Structure formats: C-alpha cells, structure tokens
Structure 1
Amino acid sequence: MSYNNPQQMAQIAINAGKKKATLPLRSILILGFLGGAFIALGFLFYIRVTAGLPPEWGTLNNLIGGLVFPLGLILTVVAGAELLTGNMMAVSMAALAKKVTVKQLTINWILIAVTNLIGSVFVAYVFGHLLGLTETGVFLDKTIAAASSKVDASFIESFISAIGCNWLVALAIWMSYSAEDTTGKIVGLFLPITAFIAIGFQHVVANMFIIPAGIFAGALTWGDYIMNFIPVFLGNAVGGGILVGCLYYGAFGRSEKQPAKEVQSLKKSS
C-alpha cells in the first residue's frame, strides 16, 4: 500500500485545489449536484438505520449513526464529486500557493454551494418527501428531531459547532491524500467522519438535506434554514480553510523543490 507523507499531501492538496477551481462549468454543475446528493444519501442512510434504535442505548446510537454516515463522503471521494466543505480546504491551499486567485476561490465556493444545495434538496424531496422515507413513523420523528436540533442552536453555537465539524471533515479529505489506493482513502476518511456525526457537529451540506427534509415534513421554514446556513457556512470555512488548509500550508506547502516521489504522486492525481 503506497503512502504519501504530509509534505507530499500538501502538494497534492494544492494541485487538487487548483483543478477544482478551474473545472469547466458543466463539470462543476454535475459534480456539485452529485456531491450534495451523496451527502444527503449518507444522511438518509443514517436516519433509516438509527430511527428505530432503542433510546436506552444512549450515545451508542450516535456511534452507530456515525458508522453508516461516511457513505456520503466515500461516494464523493471514490466515485467523484465536488463538496463545499472539502473545497474550503483544498482551494484555500491552492489560493495560498497562488495557484488560483481569490476571485476563483469565491466563484468556486458559490457554485459548489448552490449545486450541493440542489443535489441535497433533490434527495430530501424525491426520496424523503415523495417516497416518504423521512416522513413516516419513527423516521419522521427522527427527521424532525435532527432538523430541529440544527436550527434551535444559537448563532454562536452553530458557528463553533461548524468549526469542529469541518476541522474533522477537511482532515478526512486531507488524510485521503495520503493513500493512492481506494482502500487506503476509505480508511483515512472513515474515523473523522464517524467522529463528527457521533459528536453532533454541524455540516453545511448535511444541513442542506436534513433541514429541507424537516421543511417538507411541515416542521420548519426556509427562514429557519437561512438563519442556520449563515453561521454553519462561516464556521465550516474556518474549520476547513484555516485549521486545516492554512495551517498545513504553513507547515508543508511552501517547499519549492519537490522530491521525485512527490512529482510522481502529483501526476497520478491529475
């Protein structure tokens, strides 16, 4: 199993961020939709598995949910998709390395945010609402409880929770860069995603699914969603862009000379 060290991972992340920021518009629209849909499918999987678990199991329910939710990021990384929270790390590193401009970063984040939202709402409406997967029996109760817990948090609570979330999610993407095979990538990203779900941190794209699911169920409003989106977006940007992107760029991303293995790794990632 081949392995890239952190300095090589930094160069791979910068290269990936540049590619993300310069994708053709058609690719961004398709891959952004898929990224939102994949995370939504992971959350739907979580609801269908955990809704019927005995309450007396306590936090074990959170752990079980955390073990199934990573489906969304596995699909994103292995099958291929664009996810806002991952781009907050990778495109930030590319911008710090002056491989992309701040304007390119801003446009990328906006386009991916919009397309992730479309993909997430698609799953919430078609599978959650029309098919009823989030609106019957214990699944409705779980959906409303999960959605309400997101919007009931204060601005500062949502912001801080979102920092913790994307610190873990961006670290999951970061660690996937250490591997050059599918198994290694899945292993690298699995535990950080399990942790963020078990802890209960707020993820801007996951919320694009669960809060609209609550809206379609008649429990929440779009105003609730907007007031949640703002602090969670900002917190995720800090967690992924600063605590992972900026710090690892400062530690490993300034090297001018790249060893042969690093260059080979960059070629494989392109």
Structure 2
Amino acid sequence: MTDFNPQEIAQLTVEKGVSKVNTPIGKESLLAFVGGAFISIGYLAYIRITGTLPAEWGGLSTFIGAGVFPIGLILILLGGGELLTGNMMVVSMSYINKKISFLDMLKNWGIVAFFNLIGALFVAYFFGHILGLTEGVVLEKTIAVAQAKVGDSFLIAFISGIGCNWLVGMSVWLCYGTKSFSGKILAIWFPVMVFVLIGFQHVVANFFIIPAAIFAGSLSWMAFIQNIIPVFLGNAVGGSIFVSLFYSIAYVKKTEKIKKESLSRERLLDSSLSTELEK
C-alpha cells in the first residue's frame, strides 16, 4: 500500500476542503457535534488519569495523560466527525488555492465551531457534572487545568493557540498522507500527544475543560469567553498560516509551476513540429 507524497497530500487536502464546504448543513452540524464530544471524551480521559496519579510523578503523569488524549482526534478522522481546528487547516487550504470563497470558509468555521461547542458542553455537563467524572476525586485537577487556561494573558493564549494548531494541523496532514488505519493512528497520535505535553491551548478542548470547572462551581462564563477569543484566533493562524499557507507555497504552487512549464514546453514542441511539417 503506497502512501502519498507531500505534493499529493496538498492536492488531497484542497479537495477535502472543497468537500467540507459543500457538505449539507444538517450533516455538517451532526458531525461537528460528534467532533466536539469526541475531543471532550479524550480530555475527560486525560483528567481521569492525571487527576488520580500521585503529584510526585510530575511530568510522567502529564505524559501518561497526553498518551490517551489523542483518542478524540482518532475517532474524528477515522470514524467520522468535523473539528474546527482541523478545518482551520483543511478548508483554508482550499481558500488559499482559490477553490472556495472567503465566505465559504468563514461559514464552515462558524457552523463547526458552534456545534463543536454544543458537543463539548454535552460531555462537560452530562458526563462531567451529572455523572461526576470531572468532579469528586479529580475535581482539584479539573479546576487547576481550567484555571491555568484562563490565567494566560491574551497574547500568551494567542501564541499558545498557534503552537497547538500547528501540530494539530500537521496531524491531520499526515493522516491524509497514509492509507492504512494503523498509519493514520500513528500520524495523529504523536503530534497531538506532543501539543498536550507542551501545554498548548486548543479551542475545542477549552470548550470542554473550562465549562467543566464552571459546572463544578469554579470560574465564570466571562473568563471562558476571554480565553476562547485569543485561543480561537491563535488556532486559526496556526492551521491556516503555518500549515496551509506554507505548504501551499511549497507544494501546490510548485506543482502548478511545473505543470505550466511542462504545458509550455509541449506547446512549443507542437509549434515546432507544425512548422517542420509545413516546410
């Protein structure tokens, strides 16, 4: 089974972006709800593990938690789902290469963001609060993680968002580059695990963890909004600029240039042959 090279991944990503903006709204909304829920379930697993490990374990505890977090994106990309941060890379790739309009891109981001939020709130409230999976013995961890997120300044949260979606965008990019399920899982796992280990901020993950702390009686919705805005913007820059734009320049534009040069040579050759035949 042959995998795709970077030029082929770039073309495939452009096509997938066009497909995403042409998805019926009902289907897109359902898949976005699922996407928000899956990311939240991955974060829930992280909280359940790290919140019960000894504090003395330090970074090892974070490493173990980061190892289970990628299950969310694996479920989305292999099982089906729409994720805002992934679409910030994929759909912008289509826009940069003039296959869709700017309005098409913004509409897709808006719909997916809203239903990702609904899916995340569902998990935070029903699984986290009603079932108590983010409270009880792990409540201290839930609140500590959420407070760390909202404690960052606008600039820090924005830059952290860039780093996050640079890695998440790359995990989606690499996933598109392989055809096997095992290859896709590995492609997703490591970039996502690393962004969690570093502590970068992910807007959809924050859709879950901050409301989980709010439902537990800590933090406020204003703190949630003040965090989401810079993280959203940072994620948008990380996915659309650091992955889509850079790789469009490196691979799509290069491929188009080669095709144009090849076509020019063919036309020149045809013209020369025609001239010779006329003689």
Q: Normalization by structure 2: what TM-score?
A: 0.90
Query: What does 1:8-47 correspond to in 2, within 5 Å?
Result: 8-47=8-47
In structure 2, what is the Cα distance between the partners aligned to 1:49 and 1:120?
A: 19
**Which stretch of the first structure deviates more once superposed, 52-61 or 208-217?**
52-61
Give distance in 2, aligned partners of 1:121 and 1:253: 38
Paired letter, 1:61? S
Runs of 4+ in 1 over 6 A off after TM superposition: none
Query: Partners in 1 of 2:146 and 2:252 — Cα distance?
Result: 38
Give aligned-pair identity as a percent: 53
* Residue in structure 2 matched with residue 242 of structure 1 by the alignment: 241
Partner residue, 1:52: 52
Report the RMSD for the aligned CA atoms in angstroms. Answer: 1.1
Pick 1 or 2: higher relative contact order, CA cutoff 8 A, min separation 6. Answer: 1
User: Over residues 184-218 of structure 1, what are the superposed CA-to-partner deviations in whole Å (9 max), with x where a residue is unaligned?
Assistant: 11111111000000111000000000000011001
Secondary structure of 1:4's match? Answer: coil
Larger Rg, first or second structure (1 or 2):
2
Hey, what does 2:88 align to over in structure 1?
88
Q: Which runs of 5+ in 1 are unaligned?
A: 258-270
Q: CA deviation at 1:56?
A: 1.2
* Paired residue total: 257
Contact between 1:166 and 1:240, CA under 8 Å: does it hold in 2?
Answer: yes
Amino acid at match of 2:157: S
Deviation of 1:2 (Å): 2.3
The one-letter code matched in structure 1 to 2:241 is I
Query: In structure 2, how many angstroms separate the alpha carbons of the residues matched to 1:188 and 1:129?
Result: 33
Q: Which amino acid aligns with 2:126?
A: V
Q: Which residue of the partner structure matches residue 149 of structure 1?
A: 148
Quote the Cα distance in structure 2 between the aligned partners of 1:58 and 1:33: 34
Amino acid at match of 2:204: V
Q: Cα deviations across residues 114-136 of structure 1 (Å, max 9, x unaligned)?
A: 00000000000000011111111
Q: How much has 1:50 moved relative to structure 2?
A: 1.2
CA deviations 1:218-255 (Å, max 9, x no partner) are 10111010000000000000101100011001111122
1:198 aligns with 2:197: yes
Q: Deviations over 1:64-107 (max 9, x none)?
A: 11100000000010001000000000101100111110000000
Cα distance in 2 for partners of 1:83, 1:115 equals 9
- Map of 1:134 onto structure 2: 134
1:22 to partner: Cα distance:
1.2
Residue number in structure 2 paired with 1:233: 232
Where in structure 2 are there 5+ consecutive unaligned residues? 260-279
SS at match of 2:179: coil
Residue of structure 2 equivalent to 1:177: 176
Q: Distance in 2 between the 1:20 and 1:181 partners? A: 22
Residue 220 of structure 1 aligns with which residue? 219
